[in-house]
């Protein structure tokens, strides 16, 4: 049932043994203290850290962000407060396209500096792995600029970065009414170049009536398959466009948003093993009325991840901890499902099997919170940041400074 989520068992009086970048053992404190890896050593453990009753979780994973971008969308926020819809703003040439203009004008240095601030706050919240999408460049040069900036963030901050090429995010102004030509450019020039330089770990697209059709997404996914890149999809966010089924057909790592996905779509996700990534920040900020089909996803045992969707237009938020609360209150997740959504299931959404669960052999990425139970992490609107974060075996004492 809802509270039996594999990978989320809680060990009381627990302890964790690490060596270098890896976890060696996890279990009850008494058992860990007599662990053979400790007994074998002729010297004392290098460092013993008392977590003093804290809740030790795997390092949090934000598996869906657009956190490299130029400018902001505060003007559109005001328009939306006056009643103009997100789709209408997009049709008038604003929305994603206005961030595209600002991103194209920004230098790598400017993008890196604004993104670093966001990532630094995420790290302080216990995030040790995050995904970053391109999609605000929409020319080969600008998409590659975004992906290089994204990759470089892990050189300066204690976080692993998974990059995603989202060339099919919006139809650029210069391709107005020529979206097929743009998709051709994405498939024939952008994707091969990005793949050749190993700038992206996966490929995403926005399947929606204000973006790309199923047929166009299919072309992008076929090219990705040819280049051996896994895919994910912004699916059924504003309308039911059959996005979940399309993602499943290509064995996507994840299908994201899913507010309008129907039961056939949910069943398809279950069969393909695709993770459903739920994004309560966008749901809240766009004042959506229809929730993703959580009961169906649960019934069909589709793993559910939770992410910030950090972006300037639909989800200007960088707190994954806040998403825990929003996932429970707005989407009806249990605290255990919410925590699984930012750990074990988020790792699966990124195709990463070496993290997200505390087990021998996994990366020593973890965070210690002052919380008595999983519920205490989800119930406050804005949790205290963790008192300790360890990334790849290194103790990071918050606040996180640029290295």
In whole angstroms, what is the distance from residue 389 CA to residue 397 CA?
7
Does residue 95 interact with ligand NIG by CB under 6 A? yes
Nearer to Fe ion, 18 or 65 (CB): 65
Residue of 55, 68, 89, 96 interacting with ligand NIG (CB under 6 A): 96
Residues 263-282 that bind ligand NIG (CB under 6 A): 282
* Backbone dihedral region for residue 232 (phi beyond 0: left; psi -120 to 50: alpha; all else: beta): beta
Contacts of residue 357, Cβ cutoff 8 Å, sequence gap at least 6:
7, 58, 343, 344, 347
Residue 313 interacting entry, from ligand NIG, Fe ion, none, C-beta within 5 to 8 Å by type: ligand NIG
Nearer to ligand NIG, 85 or 373 (CB): 85
Does residue 309 interact with Fe ion by CB under 5 A? yes
In whole angstroms, what is the distance from residue 211 CA to residue 235 CA?
11
Nearer to ligand NIG, 72 or 354 (CB): 72
Nearer to ligand NIG, 311 or 391 (CB): 311
Q: Which residue has the tokens 């996803």?
A: 297
Nearer to ligand NIG, 58 or 313 (CB): 313
Nearer to Fe ion, 8 or 308 (CB): 308
Does residue 237 interact with ligand NIG by CB under 6 A? yes
Residue 303 interacting entry, from ligand NIG, Fe ion, none, C-beta within 5 to 8 Å by type: none
Residues 96-125 that bind Fe ion (CB under 5 A): none
- The helix or strand, by DSSP H or E, that contains position 61, with its residue range, turns out to be strand 60-62
Reference 208, options 314, 350, 105; nearest CA is 314
Q: Where are the beta strands (DSSP E) in 219-376?
A: 232-235, 254-257, 275-278, 304-306, 366-369
Concatenating the DSSP letter of every residue in 298-335 gives HHTT--EEE----BTTTB----HHHHHHHHHHHH---H
Does residue 234 interact with ligand NIG by CB under 6 A? yes
In whole angstroms, what is the distance from residue 308 CA to residue 342 CA?
10
Q: Which stretch binds ligand NIG (CB under 6 A): 93-101, 119-127, 196-204, 289-297?
A: 93-101
**Cβ–Cβ contacts within 10 Å for residue 316, how many?**
18
Q: Which stretch binds Fe ion (CB under 5 A): 67-75, 79-87, 108-116, 307-315?
A: 307-315
Q: Chain centroid to CA 198: how far? A: 20
In whole angstroms, what is the distance from residue 302 CA to residue 295 CA?
10
Minimum distance, C-beta of residue 403 to Fe ion, in the bound complex (Å) = 28
**Could you give the string, one character per residue 287-316, with x where binding to ligand NIG holds by CB under 6 A and - elsewhere?**
----------------------x-xxxxx-
Does residue 212 interact with ligand NIG by CB under 6 A? no
Helix 140-156 crosses helix 108-124 at what angle (to 10 degrees)?
Answer: 40
Minimum distance, C-beta of residue 69 to Fe ion, in the bound complex (Å) = 12
Residue of 8, 99, 134, 261 interacting with ligand NIG (CB under 6 A): 99
Minimum distance, C-beta of residue 12 to ligand NIG, in the bound complex (Å) = 39
Helix 140-156 crosses helix 96-105 at what angle (to 10 degrees)?
Answer: 70
Minimum distance, C-beta of residue 237 to ligand NIG, in the bound complex (Å) = 5
- State whether residue 173 is helix, strand or coil: helix
Q: Which stretch binds Fe ion (CB under 5 A): 8-16, 18-26, 293-301, 303-311?
A: 303-311
Minimum distance, C-beta of residue 32 to Fe ion, in the bound complex (Å) = 40
Pair type for strands 60-62 and 127-133: parallel
Sign of the four-CA dihedral 174, 311, 236, 239: negative
Minimum distance, C-beta of residue 205 to Fe ion, in the bound complex (Å) = 11
Does residue 106 interact with ligand NIG by CB under 6 A? no
Minimum distance, C-beta of residue 354 to ligand NIG, in the bound complex (Å) = 27
Nearer to ligand NIG, 61 or 364 (CB): 61
Residues that bind Fe ion (CB under 5 A): 309
Residues that bind ligand NIG (CB under 6 A): 66, 95-96, 99, 206, 234, 237, 282, 309, 311-315
């Amino acid at each position: 049932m809802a509270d039996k989520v594999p990978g989320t068992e809680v060990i009381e009086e627990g302890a964790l043994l690490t060596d270098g970048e890896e976890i060696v053992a996890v279990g009850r404190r008494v058992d860990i203290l007599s662990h053979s890896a400790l007994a074998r050593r002729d010297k004392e453990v290098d460092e013993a850290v008392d977590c003093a009753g804290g809740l030790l979780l795997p390092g949090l994973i934000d598996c869906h962000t657009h956190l490299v971008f130029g400018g902001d969308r505060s003007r559109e926020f005001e328009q939306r407060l006056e009643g103009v819809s997100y789709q209408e703003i997009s049709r008038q040439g604003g929305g994603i396209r206005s961030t595209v203009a600002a991103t194209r004008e920004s230098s790598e240095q400017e993008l890196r500096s604004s993104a670093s601030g966001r990532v630094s706050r995420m790290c302080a919240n216990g995030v040790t792995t995050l995904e970053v999408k391109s999609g605000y460049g929409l020319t080969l040069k600008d998409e590659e600029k975004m992906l290089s900036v994204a990759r470089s963030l892990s050189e300066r901050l204690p976080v692993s970065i998974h990059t995603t090429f989202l060339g099919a995010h919006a139809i650029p102004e210069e391709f107005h009414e020529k979206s097929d030509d743009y998709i051709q450019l994405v498939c024939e020039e952008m994707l091969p170049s990005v793949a050749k330089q190993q700038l992206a770990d996966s490929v995403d697209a926005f399947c929606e009536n204000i973006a790309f059709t199923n047929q166009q997404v299919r072309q992008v996914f076929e090219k990705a398959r040819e280049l051996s890149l896994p895919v994910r999809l912004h699916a059924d966010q504003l309308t039911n466009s059959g996005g979940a089924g399309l993602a499943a057909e290509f064995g996507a790592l994840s299908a994201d948003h899913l507010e309008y996905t129907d039961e056939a779509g949910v069943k398809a996700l279950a069969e393909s093993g695709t993770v459903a990534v739920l994004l309560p920040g966008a749901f809240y900020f766009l004042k959506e009325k229809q929730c993703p089909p959580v009961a169906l996803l649960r019934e069909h045992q589709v793993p559910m991840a939770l992410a910030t969707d950090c972006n300037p237009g639909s989800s200007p938020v960088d707190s994954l901890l806040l998403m825990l609360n929003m996932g429970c209150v707005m989407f009806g997740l249990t605290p255990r499902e919410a925590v699984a959504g930012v750990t074990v299931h988020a790792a699966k959404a990124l195709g990463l099997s070496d993290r997200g669960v505390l087990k021998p052999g996994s990366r020593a990425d973890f965070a210690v919170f002052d919380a008595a139970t999983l519920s205490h992490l989800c119930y406050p609107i804005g949790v205290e940041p963790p008192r300790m974060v360890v990334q790849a075996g290194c103790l990071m004492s918050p606040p996180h400074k640029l290295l």
